[in-house]
Structure 1
Amino acid sequence: MTSPKAGKRKHSTFGGPVSPPPLRRKVQSTTTQTAVASFFTPTSQKPPEKIIWQERAPSDDTPSTLLVGKYIAADDSASTTKAGDSKRNKIAAFDFDSTLIQTSSGKRFASDSADWKWWHPSVPGRLRKLYLEEGYRVVVVSNQAGLTLKPDSKAPKSLQTKVDSFKAKVSAVFNQLDLPISIYAATAKDIYRKPRPGMWTEILDDYDLQPSEVDFEHSIFVGDAGGRHAEAGRPKDFSCSDRNFAENIGIKFYSPEEYFLDEAPKPFTRTFEPSEYLPDSTAKAIASFTRKNDQDLVIFCGSPGSGKSTFYWKMLQPLGYVRINQDILKTREKCLKVAEEYLREGKSVAVDNTNADSDVRTPVPVCEHNDAVRAFNKSMNPEKRSILSSVAFRSFTSRYQPPKLSEGFEDIIEIAFKVRRL
């Protein structure tokens, strides 16, 4: 998957240092002496803010969806390693929740910005060693779907409160580390969201690193979404997005247990294995597709993102087939009308719709992957289709019925999806 050029820097705000106070009983006041003193301190006498916040967008004409925070350490004299390196080309990237920190309350989601503790006591020391002794650039890369950076005027104030709370929590965590470190938080389902590589592209751009300069052999990504199986009372991972993110970039993946506790790797299952869809003899068979009749009606049947339109543009259009597509014509009735007109004119027609009527031939995760690749690559998306929600794929799965010759088809040809180089 290719990634677009880094989006323009839309907006900057500043977040101040927040130290996580100990959990208090309900009867105690939530106002601290430090907060009172800070309130009455003149601005000119307050210490400089330690985190610079920015909001970024995938492109100039889209809203901001990436929140970036850069922590300025109190003493950055160790910005070069002991060996005197001026440019850190080894990157140690970490997920945030359930990797560096967890809730101190035991809840799944933090109740406020103070509801956190280190995932394990060894975490801060390990991060300091990476930066101060081993010459790594340390960054945090996190999906934060619960945040909205630009809520409209009618949106509840709680949306902005969530952003403020997240910034305060990050400030508290980074204050305890006090190392030059940055966080990248993807808030939307776009090129920035893991496992897509948009945040990695931003990291390289921010630290003025060309891909050829990165030490991929020693760079790492640590995250809890590794597709691990349930075992010994531990639930299975909610996804494999962190492992896939590392795979897309080309760096080593570790779970928090492997990296911080030296545990052995656990069994895992990817949502889909990319190597299974690389070109082989099937791809050659597709390339040799030929017309059998002077006039054909070809009806595609497959999930969104299964490769129907690509098959049409690569195989059928060169053979003179005209295309019927409901995304363009909008209604089923219009599709039927236009198809009938083409057939009366003696043209061969390809109906490029899902045509679902409960087993899907191309797995849903593959189709979701293909949909994202199409949406974020202009050369593969001439019709400028936006990314689909997961509902579109689940809906097709529930409605699908395999076609039968008894319906009147001359042939039913099943084509397995394979990656095709452009």
Structure 2
Amino acid sequence: MSHSVSVLPYLVKFAPKTPHQFDGYINVHSFDLDHTLIRPKRPKATFGNAPHDWKFMEYDTGPAINKLVEILKADTHACFVIFTNQGGVLADPSTSKSFLNFEKKILLILKAVEAVDSGEEFLNRLWIYSSTKKPAALSKKIPTLNSKPGKVNKHSTSGKSNLKPLAALILLSEKFDEMRKPATGLFVECNRDLKEILSPTDGPVNWKYYCGDAAGRSTDFSDSDKIFALNTGVSFKVPEDIFNKK
């Protein structure tokens, strides 16, 4: 397998096992996943219903993967990052059906990429960061630490004040919120990883753009991709800006 998988309750990361050794700096081309790079096989479906239910998006220039390989060949410093919200994927526990299906889907996508021209080289430059579903227990309102003095917290099992578990719950809940676009947690995590790769040369990480379909247009379901780019300070592009240009 080309990538290692790191799983936290609020974050799933696929990183290349043998990342490309960049000389001096990295140019990051970043993308949303669903309805930007892939879509369900069924024409009117919003999300796939099984790990195999996907195909590469088709644009004027052909399948999305073809354009990505073209970018790779034109930019020797190119790195590719996918940021995706997966609100239906529960990663805690990592044995959940939704997580196992998502993992299998990503592995199938990576396998398909490997089969195209320059696919292996592309995989060595590809990172995937996904936010996941907040468990129902954390979706409920969690009392604050400075609530009424002396009040026994409902999360306490001892009948006494139990601030450490409560603080941990609050921090964990906040992590889920931080990782979900348009919040910037996925970007921060990725930027840190890429800088570690460059640490021997101390070169810059140049974020070229973030490309996504949720741009707040009349036909879009939201503007979350556009706001994500705004929040991270990265130039925003809709898929047509990238994939319909020859």
TM-score (norm 1): 0.41
The aligned counterpart of 2:112 is 176
Counterpart Cα distance in 1 of 2:14 and 2:104: 11
Residue 118, structure 1, aligned to residue 80, structure 2: no
1:18-417 correspondence runs (5 A): 49-56=1-8, 64-72=9-17, 79=20, 85-106=22-43, 107-120=45-58, 121-134=62-75, 135-151=77-93, 160-178=96-114, 179-180=123-124, 181-187=126-132, 188=134, 189-208=176-195, 213-216=204-207, 219-229=208-218, 236-262=219-245
How far off is 1:250 after superposition? Answer: 1.4
How far off is 1:257 after superposition? Answer: 1.9
State the superposition RMSD in angstroms. Answer: 2.5
Conserved 8 A contact 1:221-1:252? yes
Q: Deviations over 1:13-59 (max 9, x none)?
A: xxxxxxxxxxxxxxxxxxxxxxxxxxxxxxxxxxxx32211123xxx
The aligned counterpart of 1:281 is none
How far off is 1:212 after superposition? Answer: 8.8
How far off is 1:173 after superposition? Answer: 1.2
The gaps in structure 1 that reach 5 residues or longer are 1-48, 57-63, 230-235, 264-422
Conserved 8 A contact 2:195-2:205? no
How far off is 1:245 after superposition? Answer: 0.8
Conserved 8 A contact 2:89-2:99? yes
TM-score (norm 2): 0.68
How far off is 1:182 after superposition? Answer: 1.4
How far off is 1:139 after superposition? Answer: 0.8
Structure 1 residues 132 and 88 mapped into 2: Cα distance closer, same or farther (>3 Å)? farther
Between structures 1 and 2, the one with greater strand share? 2
SS in 2 for 1:92: strand
SS in 1 for 2:41: coil
Q: Amino acid of the residue matched to residue 48 of structure 2?
A: A
Conserved 8 A contact 1:68-1:184? yes
How far off is 1:87 after superposition? Answer: 4.2
Structure 1 residues 89 and 168 mapped into 2: Cα distance closer, same or farther (>3 Å)? same
SS in 2 for 1:98: coil
| Larger-gyration structure (1/2) | 1
Counterpart Cα distance in 1 of 2:110 and 2:97: 20
Structure with the larger RCO, 1 or 2 (CA within 8 Å, 6+ apart)? 2
Counterpart Cα distance in 1 of 2:33 and 2:50: 16
Aligned residues, how many? Answer: 186
Structure 1 residues 202 and 247 mapped into 2: Cα distance closer, same or farther (>3 Å)? same
Identity of aligned residues (%): 26
